[in-house]
Structure 1
């Protein structure tokens, strides 16, 4: 009988791929990675720390969202911020769940030089599901240990007629399978001819196919991916969140995994999807950092402009959102709403911002007059 699941192939897990097919996409990712690192190096320490916090937070929240779990963003942010030394917060403001997730992410990224052992992996799983969380403690699930003897399947549809999308390797021999993965993960760090980005893609696919735990396999898989990427870049600071890009194409993520897990050991299709998703996350990070740099340049240019609190509020709103919500520029009426001032005051404030070079008037007149940020490097009009 022909193998149905990829792990039933006789040569499992000797993966292969079409390097020539992947080469252009891999080159794009490497170039984008280099540009992002260059941009990040030009960001000041305080802005760099904030950008890293934002990326880590986005990674944690979206990785859970892929599994359908909505986290308390404020609680996770507080846990991360305290660990990064950005602010001191009352411990009552965070949950054990948030603490565990923050500890997991920072252990993977800040301690990227440490080997990934079974003991470390089991600790990660325990942090993912802290015993103190009563909502999780009521579930019948092994925490900090490999899964039980029941078949591990990913299913959907009716209970009486489920659709099996994937079945993981059986429990018997799972320790040996996990050990093989961990041995490869360590030895492949210095493997000649294996690009670090492809290594991260292979690690992602291999571990999620093993599915070694009762729950949390997807989140630990993406944590291992972050670890592999940090190792490839040889730096702990993270400026992009790949989980966010996976969430954007969640259906595509599950589809390509299912197709590849039912196919041969040639995982070119998976690696192509992985690199495309990674490239998108790198590009989005560059856009965010450019926005951070642009905002810093703007306030540096206007540090002595003597702006009112209401004016600063509106300008920050425009700068933080990339003028999102004001794609056609902000009108006097919108200024009035955001700043909570009268119509006459809004008109006066806008005139002052024009005079000080903070805003520029867009074509049009009368009630349709709109304004947008004038960046320091904008050509004078």
Structure 2
């Protein structure tokens, strides 16, 4: 049986690529705090878009769908769910909102996991309170439906014990200042999926817990950008990383590196999208200073060409003027030369 122990992360030999991603994400997270204070109206628009995409794509990963028109109505609460898929969608909507609203009050423990699960499944005909009452497996199928592989999960009689062990190990590591929490979160989520503690909804629960744990470490990116959409866009990579990381899991010989790398890659993409989304939203405000506001909020280098694409109503000469003025004022740092020139906000 697997032993849950994340203390190995203290001496974990981090791949340079993984380390680079983690460092960039942590830097971006700190700098995005400023953006929230100065772009409230813009971020509200991003929040609305993110929750729609998150609800749609987290369910789509599991093959749960409805029409775009009904989806918007379901998320707003104006449309009552009909049929199995829409009830599953409505449950995810409620659970995600609960986490967005109450993440500071939620303490990760067995009871809170069951509470979130009860919200997720509140409309479903498959709702069975508590952990699984019979054994289950994870099935891989090809596009034609042929079963390719069966992944065993923790037996029902050991499920509650395994969940508690994983949570206690998480808290032990979380309280250790020498362990990077961006490495810890994907390890815990991978273990949760390997336990597969419920008869239904395990994948969606894992994504809800990911959002919660990121919030609690100060990474509120999922409020503005859908991590679930990133996963759905490349779910083959998601499943491949999980499969690679679970090899010899029962014998405590598995390597979490593939899933850690995957997780950090998707999180970094979310921060990149936040930068681009801020530009698009600000351009829609039709304010004369939208370009300058974007540049003051942007966390990543951007070229003149990219700015012109995001702000089609702003002339090339105006873009050049703004870039020169802000660079001369010391607000922007110029990187590269000629066509590769990019600009980034100075810290």
User: Do these two structures clear the TM 0.5 threshold for a shared fold by scoring above it?
Assistant: yes
Partner of 1:369: none
Residues 214, 237 of structure 1: CA spacing in aligned structure 2 closer, same or farther, 3 A cutoff? Answer: closer
Residue 292 (1) aligns with residue 281 (2): yes
Q: Which residue of 2 aligns with 1:28?
A: 24
Matching residue of 2:138? 153
Cα gap change, 1:199 to 1:119, in 2 (>3 Å) = same
Greater Cα offset, 269-278 or 96-105: 96-105
Contact 1:126 1:144 in 2 (8 A): yes
Give the alignment partner of residue 121 of structure 1, picking from 113, 124, 128.
Answer: 113
Q: Which has the larger radius of gyration?
A: 1
Q: Deviations over 1:217-258 (max 9, x none)?
A: 110001000001111117598112111111121101101111
Q: Give CA-to-partner distance per residue, 1:254-284, whole Å, 9 cap, x none.
A: 0111111114233122211111111112111
Provide the rounded CA distance (Å) in 2 between the counterparts of 1:75 and 1:186: 40
Residue 39 (structure 2) pairs with residue 43 (structure 1) = yes
Out of 281, 289, 313, the position equivalent to 1:373 is 313
- 8 Å contact 1:153–1:168 — kept in the other structure? yes
Deviations 1:270-299 (A, max 9, x none): 211111111112111221112112332xx1
Say which SS state the counterpart of residue 19 (structure 1) adopts.
coil
2:97 corresponds to which residue? 106
Unaligned stretches of 5+ in structure 2? 290-305, 322-347
Does 175-184 or 91-100 show the bigger shift? 91-100
In the TM superposition, residue 216 of structure 1 has moved relative to its aligned partner by 0.7
2:65 to 66, 70, 87: 70
* Distance in 2, Cα, partners of 1:159 & 1:58: 27
Q: Distance in 1 between matches of 2:284 and 2:162?
A: 49
Shift of 1:122: 2.2
SS of the residue aligned with 1:51? helix
In the alignment, which residue of structure 2 is the partner of 1:217? 202
Aligned counterparts, 1:340-379, within 5 A = 372-374=312-314, 377-379=318-320
Q: 1:208, 1:218 within 8 Å by CA — same for their partners in 2?
A: yes
- Is the partner of 1:155 in helix, strand or coil? strand
CA contact (8 A) 2:121 2:127 kept: no
Q: CA contact under 8 A between 1:155 and 1:163: conserved in structure 2?
A: yes
1:137-176 map, 5 Å: 137=125, 141-156=126-141, 162-176=147-161
Asked if structure 2 preserves the Cα contact closer than 8 Å seen for 1:239 and 1:285, the reply is: yes
Distance 2:143 2:100 in 1: 40
Q: Where do 5+ consecutive residues of structure 1 fail to align?
A: 1-7, 83-89, 303-326, 330-358, 360-371
The equivalent residue for 1:306 is none
* Residues in 2 aligned to 1:188 and 1:107: alpha-carbon distance in whole angstroms: 26
> What residue number does 2:302 align with?
none
